[in-house]
Amino acid sequence: MRRTDFLFLVVIVLMGFLYGLHRILPMRPYSIHQWRQTDCLSITLNYTLEDLPFAQPEIHNTTYGEGKVVSEFPVIYYLIGHLWKLTGPKEFIFRVFNLLIVITGLFLLYRMTAGITGNRYVGLLTGLLLFASPLLVYYGANFLMNAPAFSLALAGGYFVWKYLSGDRPLHLVIATVIFTLAGLLKISSLLLFCAFSAVYLAAVFGIFGLKKLPVRKWLLIVLAIMVVLGINLMWYRYAVQYNTIHKTRGFIFLQGLYPIWDMDKAAIHAHWQRLLHNLLPVYFHPFFLYFILLAFAFNLMHFKSCNRILVLLNIATFIGVVLYMLFFYKAFDVHDYYLTDLLIFVPVTFLTFAERTVRTRKHVVLQWYIYTAAVAFFLFLSYYTASKIRLRYNLHQHFPGLYTLLPKQEIDVYNWYHWHYATYYKAYESAEPWLRNQGIQRTDCIISIPDQSINITLYLMDQKGFTDFGRRRNPPQSYGKWIEHCRDLGARYLIINDRELLKDTTVAPYCRYKLSEYNNLILFDLQNLSYPLD
């Protein structure tokens, strides 16, 4: 093992301890976007406990299509689900699996950058910098597919570089497989693949100063592009068809665009403010964003002296980022994980900048004060990320510097979240044995309220059933009508986590027969009721 390989792994581990990952990995799904976390885990757990075919996943919420719904290619859900058959449902395994994919992608990024620049320490810095993004760290040790898909795209880029460097078809085959899988997990992760394809087209025609590709290499790359796009197209057509058949299309997961042109000016402005002040600080610290934008401007200004392939890749990536933001602009209100794939702009820009600097200013790069400044800035970014991650997981007590690095409003919001979750939702994490002791099986449908999500409370209890998610959609209904609708669909029990809801006159008629209480959860029997009107 190279000395810098070992150093990369040591620094990653130390960063993990700084972020509190050793305490986060054993945790249940928690914090921001717990909604989407439990959707992923729900599919996984149903693979574990039910004999489901690979391409026919299910969730706990049975409001639409009896829970039969698909989003991304479920290969990781399926693998983890079957691993859980041996180990038991341990979310720790899922978190570690995704984190290992992320670390592997960053390691290959470091190796690629070191190979292109000829400087192992520049490569090391490039790989580690992405692990100083709060966005990648949070979702890298999580259950969503965005971070693993992005990291697979990094791995695909590494093997494209190996192919271009050594002309071995095996490397192109590996890149094709990896990019295909990345796209199946998240189609938006193909942003780097599309940028590579654009540069390839420039090489086919010998434009922008690129040497024209020989026909043999030309045909192999065309075949690789067709395979990646063809397989992804087939899967997403199947996913749309599956959801259409089960009447879940458009109700559970987004399968399409969320474009800016569907919004009015006021909404566009509001989303821009949220993107600027709430989401981008999770992407990276603003200081680093300024640096990357300046580096990109520098690359454009020195277009002729930059590595031609890299600078064209940088421009193509930037165009891809802009288009992606236009296509999914409506998601940039609270959905920070939609920014994950845009992280690719950082290493591509930094690599282009670093390659030119190392090649034309080698004597400057080797100066001790340059390395010292780079390490100091890297430590600052890591500390900032630690503050963000620890705040999200309620690990921030006695963490020095938190109140100087983060806005008080952000700290107050998360402190409220931690209190609210502990008060109303924490009990669900250990409620399953309580339900089984009441003779309730996981397939006995339960109405769990209040819960605006699809699967949070249902997954935590491992209980099939219904939540407020169905009640408030198309059009919103009062509790009385909704509970009756759920009873018609097979609901047998009602769980309430907030006693204030008992004062609702449309809920009270369904709370005649209390079976049991567990912490703040109250269980009612719906099986022997007459049918009261709303």
Task: Give residue 369's pLDDT.
Answer: 82
Task: Give residue 533's pLDDT.
Answer: 45
Task: Give residue 478's pLDDT.
Answer: 79
Query: Beta partners for 521?
Result: 518
440/384 same-domain check: no
Q: Number of structural domains, the chain?
A: 2
Task: Give residue 475's pLDDT.
Answer: 67
457/373 same-domain check: no
- Domain-embedded: residue 486: yes
431/388 same-domain check: no
186/125 same-domain check: yes
Distance CA 186, CA 190 (A): 8
- Domain-embedded: residue 406: no
Task: Give residue 534's pLDDT.
Answer: 46
pTM score, whole prediction: 0.94
Q: Would you say 459 and 38 are in contact if contact means Cβ atoms under 8 Å apart? A: yes
| Spatial CB neighbours of 179, under 8 Å, sequence gap ≥ 6 | 152, 153, 156, 190, 193, 228
Task: Give residue 405's pLDDT.
Answer: 87
Per-residue pLDDT of the chain (534 residues; tens, 9 = 90+): 588 899 999 999 999 999 999 999 999 999 999 999 999 999 999 999 998 999 999 999 998 878 898 889 999 999 999 999 999 999 999 999 999 999 999 999 999 999 999 999 999 999 999 999 999 999 999 999 999 999 999 999 999 999 988 878 899 999 999 999 999 999 999 999 999 999 998 888 778 777 777 766 778 889 999 999 999 999 999 998 988 887 766 566 666 778 889 888 999 999 999 999 999 999 999 999 999 999 999 999 999 999 999 999 999 999 999 999 999 999 898 899 999 999 999 999 999 999 999 988 877 767 778 889 999 999 999 999 999 999 999 998 878 777 788 999 999 999 999 999 999 999 999 999 999 999 999 999 999 999 999 999 999 999 999 999 878 765 667 788 889 889 999 999 999 999 999 998 889 999 999 999 999 999 999 988 765 444
369/511 same-domain check: no
CA distances from 325 to 33, 265, 342 (A): 20, 16, 9
388/431 same-domain check: no
- Domain-embedded: residue 378: yes
Task: Give residue 208's pLDDT.
Answer: 77
87/39 same-domain check: yes
- Domain-embedded: residue 419: no
Distance CA 273, CA 236 (A): 33
- Domain-embedded: residue 324: no
380/451 same-domain check: no
Distance CA 229, CA 176 (A): 10
Task: Give residue 114's pLDDT.
Answer: 94
84/168 same-domain check: yes
- Domain-embedded: residue 220: yes
372/444 same-domain check: no
Q: Of 340, 366, 392, which one is at a domain's C-terminal end?
A: 392
DSSP for 444-487, written as a single string: S-EEEES--SSSHHHHHHT--EEEHHHHTSSS---HHHHHHHHH
How far does Cα 512 stand from its chain's mean position? 42
Q: Domain range holding 381?
A: 3-257+358-392
- Domain-embedded: residue 292: no
| Spatial CB neighbours of 375, under 8 Å, sequence gap ≥ 6 | none
227/113 same-domain check: yes
Per-residue three-class SS string for 374-442: HHHHHHHHHHHHHHHHHHHCCCCCCCCCHHHHCCHHHHHHHHHHHHHHHHHCHHHHHCHHHHHHCCCCC
Q: Would you say 199 and 316 are in contact if contact means Cβ atoms under 8 Å apart? A: yes
123/63 same-domain check: yes
- Domain-embedded: residue 297: no
